Structure 1
Amino acid sequence: MQMPRAVGREAASRKYDILSALMAFALGEDKTVQRQVLRAMVLVTTRYNWQRDELSMGQAEIARLWAVDERTVKREMARLRAQGWLVLKRQGARGRVSVYGIDFDRMLDDTRPAWERIGEDFIARMNPAGAQAEPSNVIPLHKVPQPSGGGSAWATAQQILHGENAALYGSWLHMLTEAEITDGRLVLIAPTKFHATYVNTHLKDRLRRVLRMVDPALADVVVQV
């Protein structure tokens, strides 16, 4: 999707929509994801230049804002870049800090499972064609039917994951396919590198918890391309 830039007469409402999507998404995730989203949000609200799509802030300043050390900042900024939320525009050098852009389209795509919790009016606004289309043309969120289950630990786990959060399952988990189980570790295959990175970063604890419920012998899970 292509989100209009948050400038001009409708800038304030677009900014609120972006922040609403991030907050609703975070509230449905674990503490690790919630902390990461909060850190991204505070960068947006305190130092991001919406007109120029620029975030220019040194690691020491970010560490002070986040109340962490600089090593944590370096690690977390790398995660945000790998996730596609931050885009490096100019590498810092000779006393100058790095300059980042923010990919709000990627943010909104990643938070899509939470949109239905905000409401149909929000979904309609976020539909790229919504301004020109009739309400009947609003594209609904993709819904995946209940997995049939049975046959393997992963098949049974899919049923549980769908029951816990159907939207999250439909967006990130139903496309994972089982490859093998070796030494108590389940290997799943994702369709893209970004998909695998996202699941490993944000959903691995959820997968591990459910798989241990299904089969206590499964100690770990890894998602590959």
Structure 2
Amino acid sequence: MKRRETTRATGRYAASLKYDVLTALGAYACGGDKHRQRLALRLMTLVTARYNWQDDTVTTGQREIAALWSVDERTVKREMARLRDMGWLVLKRASTRGRVACYGLGLDVILMQTEPYWVCVGPDFVERMGAKPAEPASDPTVVAFPVAGEGAWSQIATRLQADDPGVFNAWFAPLVSLGERNRVLRLKVPSKFHGSFLRTHHLGRLQALARFQGCEVELVD
């Protein structure tokens, strides 16, 4: 599948790309720990408030960014350095006396690094972004157990396990597949509380992965 013709924030894809980049960053953040979530949220806030999509520039002083993020300037300096190291921000012009630094977005890097989480938004988003989703990186601090079996649930469970083994072992591993019928995958939950928690916090994610496999999910108490 061919990727978008352009990753510039101007021209033919400008309108949708603005929202898609923020959506990709949000999905990436939600799939990580609190540190990743906070850094992504800060970038998203800066982009929403101060990024010039036409010129691919954000020219805002550290004092103004500190106020926007509700932090001190020292934190801004550290976080901006992290974003540059990640390739999410590209320094276009260094700060000089009387002039603040000018940055652009590293859109290609952002899209590459968030790509494994596009499937969490939905297959329509994956199709629109124009690339087959890669396998999400697993958490090296949690030992994942292999998922056995065949069919849609095996594929879905494997993706969930790779994305976050800790969450998988706690909430998805106890599910028992009752099979598929009329493109509906029925999953037995171990308790009503377990089913209620999944419906509240993880059903959207399950449905997105299931639709990528051509079916819907039904949780059975």
TM over 0.5: yes
Alpha-carbon distance in structure 1 between the residues aligned to 2:141 and 2:27: 29
Contact in 2 for aligned 1:87/1:102 (Cα 8 Å): yes
Alpha-carbon distance in structure 1 between the residues aligned to 2:19 and 2:87: 21
Contact in 1 for aligned 2:27/2:120 (Cα 8 Å): yes
Contact in 2 for aligned 1:113/1:168 (Cα 8 Å): no
Contact in 1 for aligned 2:7/2:108 (Cα 8 Å): no
Q: Which runs of 5+ in 2 are unaligned?
A: 147-157, 166-221
User: Which one of the candidate residues 63, 67, 72 is aligned to 1:60?
Assistant: 63
1:15 to 2:18 alignment: yes
> Residues 114 and 70 from structure 1, CA distance in 2 versus in 1: closer, same or farther, beyond 3 angstroms?
same
Alpha-carbon distance in structure 2 between the residues aligned to 1:12 and 1:92: 30
User: Which one of the candidate residues 136, 142, 146 is aligned to 2:134?
Assistant: 142
Contact in 1 for aligned 2:117/2:133 (Cα 8 Å): no
Alpha-carbon distance in structure 1 between the residues aligned to 2:19 and 2:34: 23
1:157 alignment partner, SS class: coil
> Aligned partner of 2:17: which letter?
R
Residues 114-145 of structure 1 deviation map (CA, whole Å, 9 limit, x = unaligned): 11111111111111xxxxxxxxxxx532349x
Alpha-carbon distance in structure 1 between the residues aligned to 2:124 and 2:94: 40
Alpha-carbon distance in structure 2 between the residues aligned to 1:8 and 1:119: 25
Alpha-carbon distance in structure 2 between the residues aligned to 1:84 and 1:98: 16
Residues 42-79 of structure 1 deviation map (CA, whole Å, 9 limit, x = unaligned): 11111111111111011111001000000000000000
Contact in 1 for aligned 2:95/2:102 (Cα 8 Å): yes
> Aligned partner of 1:100: which letter?
Y
Kindly name which structure, 1 or 2, has the bigger radius of gyration based on alpha carbons.
2
Equivalent residue pairs, number:
149
Alpha-carbon distance in structure 1 between the residues aligned to 2:24 and 2:163: 14
> Aligned partner of 2:118: which letter?
W
RMSD of aligned alpha carbons: 2.7
1:175 is matched with none
Structure 2 length-normalised TM? 0.60
CA deviation after TM superposition for structure 1 residue 19, in Å? 0.9
Q: Which runs of 5+ in 1 are unaligned?
A: 128-138, 147-153, 170-225
Structure 1 length-normalised TM? 0.59
CA deviation after TM superposition for structure 1 residue 156, in Å? 8.3
